[in-house]
């Protein structure tokens, strides 16, 4: 066995926060391990604390890690719940994609189809979200005297509606929500920001930053 085997060291940010670990190798010519920039020869921080929402910061004077509560209150007061929802949909779609690949490798057709259906439902939710954002930016208050065309978006009683694209253009229409008006919505209550999100879950999935009940059913496998 080598007297100087490969070992893991920790990468830290400029202000001392743990980023990741990296394996380094001994250089016989220099007589030292090849250390990348911002690396320290220190033990891995407490994984339990890292996984429950703490940041590890290296205290060089005490030669040990200190743990700080991770702050995920950043920007939540000003954040757009729909943008947070979009980020969460993207995260969930990435997870579903990985699950589809795993099921394919394992030859599990049923699991592959279940995750594919879940991912497709997330994509449909994403399309609905974009429709709502478009409605918010383009909607005009409904005017009973105005002839509307297919694709027009109106606001009536706090809800958004558009005309069925199969309708004849230009005819007078009854007031929403009467057909052929179609409501533009996420199919559930609009997302709202949580006041006190769980920091660890928020790091894993931005969806933990919002209250939302319109998620498609999670594959029951």
- Is residue 191 in a domain? yes
Q: What is the pLDDT of residue 78?
A: 56
Are 46 and 107 contained in the same domain?
no
Are 27 and 117 contained in the same domain?
no
Instruction: Name, of 51-55, 84-88, 123-127, the range with top average pLDDT.
Output: 123-127
Are 186 and 89 contained in the same domain?
yes
Residues in the chain, total: 221
> How far, in Å, are 100, 120, 188 from residue 129 at the CA level?
24, 14, 11
Are 62 and 85 contained in the same domain?
no
> How far, in Å, are 16, 55, 77, 128, 205 from residue 74 at the CA level?
20, 15, 8, 27, 15
- Give the residue, 204 or 98, on which the prediction is more confident: 98
Of 69, 103, 118, the residue that ends a domain is 69
Name the percent of the chain lying above pLDDT 90. 26
Q: What is the pLDDT of residue 113?
A: 94
Q: What is the pLDDT of residue 70?
A: 57
Q: What is the pLDDT of residue 75?
A: 42
Q: Could you tell me the pTM of the whole model?
A: 0.58
Are 178 and 205 contained in the same domain?
yes
Are 86 and 65 contained in the same domain?
no
Number of separate domains in the chain: 2
Residue 200 neighbours by CB distance under 10 Å: 15
Are 61 and 85 contained in the same domain?
no
**Segments forming the whole domain that contains residue 170:** 81-211
What band does 123 get if pLDDT is binned at 50, 70 and 90? very high
- pLDDT score of 203 more than 60: no
Q: What is the pLDDT of residue 210?
A: 79
Across 105-132, average pLDDT: 92
Q: What is the mean pLDDT of the chain?
A: 83
pLDDT in tens, 143-200: 888 888 777 899 998 899 998 777 655 566 678 888 888 899 887 778 887 765 444 5
Are 110 and 176 contained in the same domain?
yes
- Is residue 219 in a domain? no
> How far apart (Å, rounded) are the C-alpha atoms in residues 17 and 50?
12
Are 93 and 176 contained in the same domain?
yes
pLDDT in tens, 55-101: 889 999 999 999 887 554 444 445 678 888 888 888 889 989 999 99
């Amino acid at each position: 066995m080598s007297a100087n085997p490969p070992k893991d060291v920790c990468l830290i940010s400029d202000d001392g926060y743990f980023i990741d670990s990296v394996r380094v190798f001994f250089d016989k010519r220099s007589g030292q391990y090849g250390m990348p920039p911002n690396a320290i020869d220190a033990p891995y921080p407490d994984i339990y604390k890292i996984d429950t929402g703490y940041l590890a910061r290296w205290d060089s004077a005490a030669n040990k890690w200190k743990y700080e509560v991770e702050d995920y209150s950043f920007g939540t007061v000003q954040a757009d719940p729909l943008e947070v929802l979009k980020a969460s949909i993207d995260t969930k779609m990435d997870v579903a994609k990985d699950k589809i690949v795993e099921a394919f490798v394992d030859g599990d057709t049923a699991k592959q189809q279940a995750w594919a259906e879940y991912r497709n439902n997330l994509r449909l939710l994403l399309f609905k979200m974009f429709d709502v954002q478009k409605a918010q930016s383009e909607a005009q208050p409904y005017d009973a005297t105005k002839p509307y065309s297919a694709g027009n978006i109106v606001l009536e009683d706090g809800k958004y509606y558009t005309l069925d694209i199969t309708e004849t253009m230009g005819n007078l229409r009854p007031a929403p929500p009467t057909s052929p008006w179609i409501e533009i919505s996420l199919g559930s209550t609009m997302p709202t920001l949580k006041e006190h999100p769980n920091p660890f879950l928020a790091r894993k999935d931005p969806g933990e930053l919002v209250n939302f009940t319109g998620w498609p059913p999670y594959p029951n496998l």
